[in-house]
Amino acid sequence: MKCLNCGTENPEEMKFCGNCGRTLPQPLPVQPMQPMPKRETHTALIIAVVVVAVVVIVAVIALILITAPKADLRADLLYSAENDWLGSGGTIEVYGMIYNYGDKMGGGTVYLHVYDGYAWHDYEVPTGVVPANGSEYFYWDGYFDPMDDSSCEVEYSIETG
């Protein structure tokens, strides 16, 4: 070990310089390498946070959908049936008003279930756009051959879109 004061080389085990008596620098003790501590993963905590976040997001979306203004379509429909008497065929007309009792403009489909006196027939008729708190005229007709105008019936339902 070299003395920092006089530059004399001294054996490694010496604590003081053999020439000038100064304290020699001591080598640092060699420490064995310690393995890095393992990082603890908090998988359960991470999963819990993700689940809570998803539940909160779903709840917020549901609240928005529940409180958002919606269209509320209803109908006041009438029908008439006329037989042409020539070939026992005829026309059934369905007409009336589609009312929107909701706070949002909307439309949908009117599902007609029409009985021509012999069989039931199903039809889908778009309502068009009905303004919020407003109404739109509705008209549909169909020709049936044969048809018994004395026993015709029309049933309907409305699905908002």
Structure confidence at residue 41 (pLDDT): 67
pLDDT, mean of residues 95-120: 91
How many Å apart are CA 15 and CA 49, to the nearest integer? 60
Strand partners, 57: none
In a domain, 119, yes or no: yes
pLDDT for the residue 113:
96
Preceding peptide of 11 cis, ω within 30°: no
Query: Both 79 and 155 in a single domain?
Result: yes
Q: What is the CATH number of the domain that holds 121?
A: 2.60.40.10
The answer on 50 and 25 residing in a single domain is no
* pTM flag (> 0.85): no
Say if 37 falls within a structural domain. no
Helices (H) and strands (E) in the chain, counts: 1, 6
pLDDT tens digit sequence for 60-89: 888 876 766 678 888 899 999 998 877 788
Tell whether the model's pLDDT for residue 38 goes beyond 80: no
Planar angle of CA 82, 84, 90, nearest 5 degrees: 55
pLDDT at residue 144 greater than cutoff 90: yes
Distance between start and end Cα atoms, the chain:
91
CA 104 – CA 75 distance, rounded (Å): 17
Within a 10 A sphere around the Cβ of 3, how many other Cβ atoms?
Answer: 20
> Is position 35 within any domain?
no
The encoded tokens of residue 79 equal 């029908």
Q: Are residues 130 and 150 in the same domain?
A: yes
By the 8 A CB rule, do 156 and 111 touch? yes
Residue 67 is predicted with a pLDDT of 67
Mean pLDDT in the chain? 87
Q: How many domains are contained in the chain?
A: 3
Query: Which domain, by its residues, includes 78?
Result: 73-160
Per-residue pLDDT tens digits for 105-115: 888 899 999 99
The tokens for 60 are 């917020």
